[in-house]
């Protein structure tokens, strides 16, 4: 009977690797490269040039650094086949840009993804609900929207691609830190000033090491199995502070961070222990690994025993 459950578990684990993959074609050439070149001519460089028809000279000007985008990052994101003018007004094709364009309303994720079967596995509606409950949405107005974390010009779905856990951790933490540890960016949203993250999290023995091994959302969201990426950032009073939540054999990281082990690893082995062994090591989380190996050997030996037994029974007849 136990074997049956074991097989079902293996089946479920290997199946879970199928539902979390990206559909976007990441291999072929981006569809709108030619179109976008017109925009990138100015928006990928710190100095842009234009012909001034009044003075008749070619002027060189410095671009606002927030308006400069990395082309490689754009073309490795999920919206890599987009033209800039799929999201922005086509009127941007003229320069100088019409000042009123500044008032153009921007699309939200749901405008395009809501109710679309093709993206059902992402649960956009649930994510929006969860985000609505989070401190960012409840403490602030529409100024805090999905784009605050999902950079429109580079967002990658890392947890559905072949990234190492360590790469996912640093990219996701950078998303939060780029605002929480950057007063300029932070003040786009709030006048309040916050202490540096390092000071806030003094209670952790090795702050740097922890922040390179776990994500902010591990401690700042409720663990939720149904969500692939948790979006409900809880008030600080509810953040995880207890060391044993992670440093124990039932580490909560299994249902959050470690489920993103690379697709390759998932395909090849499909077990969480391989994850715990090969890339990360949480003290306390995998202390009984030798016991596990021992029990597998025992299990193998008893199978062998049964086989030998059956063999001789048949032979006797
Ligand atoms: C000749 C250089 C040049 C080209 C080409 C160009 N831009 Fe711009 N763009 C600028 C400059 C300079 C600004 C800074 C604000 C301004 O001058 O309007 C800007 C600002 C913007 C803004 C921000 C407006 C705001 O203030 O919020 C957007 C959006 C934008 N451009 C989109 C585009 C798109 C899309 C294209 C291609 C269709 C494009 N730009 C082509 C130079 C250019
Ligand atoms: C998937 C939709 C999408 C695509 C594609 C897109 N943008 Fe944007 N862009 C946005 C959104 C949304 C904002 C506003 C972001 C914000 O408020 O932080 C924005 C803001 C900007 C800004 C102003 C930046 C700022 O900090 O205010 C510029 C400049 C810009 N885009 C240029 C471009 C160019 C050039 C391209 C093509 C290479 C492009 N965008 C492609 C959605 C998009
Ligand atoms: C202007 C419409 C538009 C907006 C706005 C938009 N998307 Fe998309 N998105 C698309 C389309 C269309 C695709 C499919 C692209 C393709 O297959 O090349 C896509 C693809 C994706 C994918 C990959 C899905 C897959 O497996 O193929 C993700 C993830 C995604 N978007 C997330 C977001 C998020 C998060 C936001 C908001 C921060 C957002 N999108 C905003 C239209 C949009
Ligand atoms: C506080 C930061 C933050 C905000 C705000 C945010 N997200 Fe996300 N979101 C993330 C992170 C981090 C990921 C993981 C990206 C990855 O796969 O590497 C993610 C992933 C996603 C995904 C992909 C989930 C999957 O199954 O692969 C979708 C869809 C998404 N977000 C939609 C939204 C929508 C819609 C909003 C606004 C209602 C939003 N997000 C606001 C941080 C944020
Ligand atoms: C090990 C768990 C853990 C991790 C990882 C973690 N935090 Fe925290 N965080 C906490 C706890 C617990 C508190 C509450 C501290 C207190 O009240 O003394 C907190 C407080 C905060 C606060 C509130 C500060 C204030 O006083 O208003 C912010 C903002 C914050 N964290 C952001 C982050 C960001 C951003 C990251 C990732 C770079 C992160 N945290 C990673 C556990 C964590
Ligand atoms: C664009 C800026 C921005 C980004 C990105 C951002 N935050 Fe925040 N965050 C804020 C602001 C603003 C506040 C509210 C400060 C206030 O008004 O007290 C806040 C509040 C918080 C709080 C404190 C809640 C409380 O009870 O006081 C936590 C925890 C937090 N954020 C975690 C995160 C995490 C985790 C991420 C990344 C997944 C993240 N934030 C991304 C701007 C940001
Ligand atoms: C969100 C999960 C999480 C929480 C909560 C957490 N840790 Fe950790 N901790 C980790 C991970 C993951 C590592 C492994 C880092 C590595 O060695 O690569 C680690 C590493 C450590 C280390 C090893 C540092 C070293 O120098 O090798 C110590 C000590 C530690 N944690 C103590 C604590 C204490 C004490 C607490 C409670 C105040 C705590 N941790 C809370 C996840 C967590």
Give 75-134 pLDDT, tens digit per residue. 999 999 999 999 999 999 999 999 999 999 999 999 999 999 999 989 999 999 999 999
Indicate whether residue 163 lines ligand 4 (CB < 6 A). Answer: no
CA 83 to chain CA mean position, Å: 23
Which one has a higher pLDDT value, 192 or 51?
Answer: 51
Query: Which class for 78: exposed (0-12), middle (13-18), buried (19 or more C-beta within 10 A)?
Result: middle
Predicted TM-score of the model (pTM): 0.89
Residue with tokens 């989070």: 134
Asked if residue 67 has its Cβ within 6 Å of ligand 2, the reply is yes
DSSP characters for 89-141?
-GGGGSSSPPGGGGGPPPPPHHHHHTT-GGGGGG-HHHHHHHHHHSHHHHHS-
Question: Residue 120: CB partners within 8 Å, gap ≥ 6?
Answer: none
In short, whether 282's Cβ falls inside 6 Å of ligand 7 is: yes
- What is the whole-number distance in angstroms between the Cα of residue 229 and the centre of ligand 4? 7
Q: Cβ(233)–Cβ(136) under 8 Å?
A: yes
CA of 103 to the centre of ligand 2 (A): 13
Is the pLDDT at 173 greater than 80? The verdict is yes
Q: Which atom of ligand 2 is nearest to the CA of 74?
A: 38
Which pLDDT tens digit goes with each residue over 11-31?
444 444 445 678 899 999 999
Mean pLDDT over residues 60-71, rounded? 96
Q: How far is the CA of 156 from the centre of ligand 1 (A)?
A: 23
Percent of residues, the chain, with pLDDT higher than 70? 81
Whether residue 6 has its Cβ less than 6 Å from ligand 1 = no
Give the pLDDT of residue 259.
81
Q: Which ligand is nearest to the CA of 242?
A: 7
Ligand 4 centre to CA of 138 (Å) is 17
């Amino acid at each position: 009977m136990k074997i049956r459950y074991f097989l079902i578990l293996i089946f479920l684990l290997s199946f879970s690797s199928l539902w979390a993959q990206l559909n976007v074609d990441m291999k072929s050439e981006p569809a709108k490269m030619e179109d976008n070149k017109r925009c990138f001519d100015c928006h990928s460089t710190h100095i842009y040039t234009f012909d001034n028809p009044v003075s008749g000279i070619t002027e060189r000007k410095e671009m606002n650094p927030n308006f400069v985008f990395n082309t490689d990052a754009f073309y490795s994101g999920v919206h890599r086949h987009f033209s800039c003018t799929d999201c922005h007004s086509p009127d941007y094709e003229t320069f100088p840009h019409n000042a009123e364009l500044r008032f153009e309303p921007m699309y939200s994720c749901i405008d395009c993804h809501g109710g679309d079967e093709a993206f059902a596995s992402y649960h956009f509606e649930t994510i929006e609900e969860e985000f609505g409950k989070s401190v960012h949405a409840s403490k602030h107005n529409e100024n805090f929207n999905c784009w605050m974390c999902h950079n429109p010009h580079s967002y990658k779905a890392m947890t559905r691609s072949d990234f190492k856990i360590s790469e996912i951790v640093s990219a996701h933490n950078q998303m939060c830190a780029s605002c929480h540890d950057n007063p300029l960016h932070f003040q786009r949203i709030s006048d309040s000033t916050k202490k540096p993250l390092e000071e806030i999290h003094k209670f952790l023995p090795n702050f740097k090491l922890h922040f390179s091994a776990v994500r902010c959302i591990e401690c700042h969201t409720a663990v939720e199995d149904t969500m692939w990426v948790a979006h409900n950032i809880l008030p600080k009073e509810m953040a995880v502070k207890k060391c044993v939540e992670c440093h124990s054999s039932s580490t909560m990281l299994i249902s959050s961070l470690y489920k993103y082990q690379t697709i390759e690893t998932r395909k090849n082995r499909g077990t969480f222990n391989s994850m715990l062994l090969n890339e990360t090591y949480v003290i306390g989380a995998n202390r009984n690994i030798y016991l596990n190996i021992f029990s597998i050997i025992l299990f193998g030996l008893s199978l062998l025993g049964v086989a030998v037994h059956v063999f001789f029974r048949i032979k006797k007849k």
